[in-house]
Amino acid sequence: MARGVVRGLGIVLLLAGVGLLGWVGWQYFGTGITSNRTMDQLERELRDEWRAETTIKEPAAGTPFTLVRIPKFGAEWVKPVVEGVGKGELARGIGHYPQTQLPGVPGNFAIAGHRVTHGSPFRKLLELRKGDQVVVETADAIYTYELDTSPRDLTVKPSDTWVLDPVPGKPQETPTKSLITLTTCEDLFHSPDRSIAFGHLINLEKKR
């Protein structure tokens, strides 16, 4: 009887191990496949919408409204930005912190993305350095930002919301420039800490 119990326990542990491996595999590979497909689809839909629309709409929660390009990551690197930074939004692309500004206006346009899982749009973010560019395209304009800091230079806790201030770290100051803040996990594996990069607008190209 004892042998049967041990054997049964071994089977249970084996199945649990297989299940855990399957879950890890899905998190690190499966979600990437589905999220990359979703991001490609959102990019196409957004471009189609831009061609069809004559008026500029305010972004609704969970919907794409902007495309981001980071030239250092290659000419083909283009990701949609959706409104919101919840789990659902970040599974669909890069997310925009709703309490921060939109691109091109005085204040802080702050965005977040995963380094692992769900397409890993910011997987290589820590490779960026001061002076690298981030290009943000909307329905009516293309905004080019230049980084003032590298994501490797600053790590914060999730509670450090000052990075989202209109002028980061200066809550009493009225913004006069268009700024950008990029946020992502510090480590490739789960970490509560966030790596942060700041930048400022250097060029505006109107599309309409």
- Catalytically active residues are 114, 185
Nearest to 78 by CA among 67, 87, 93, 91: 67
Where does the chain have alpha helices with state H? 2-25, 31-52, 87-90
CB 207 within 8 A of CB 151: no
CB 42 within 8 A of CB 121: no
**42: Cβ–Cβ under 8 A, 6 or more apart, which residues?**
64, 80, 82, 92, 93
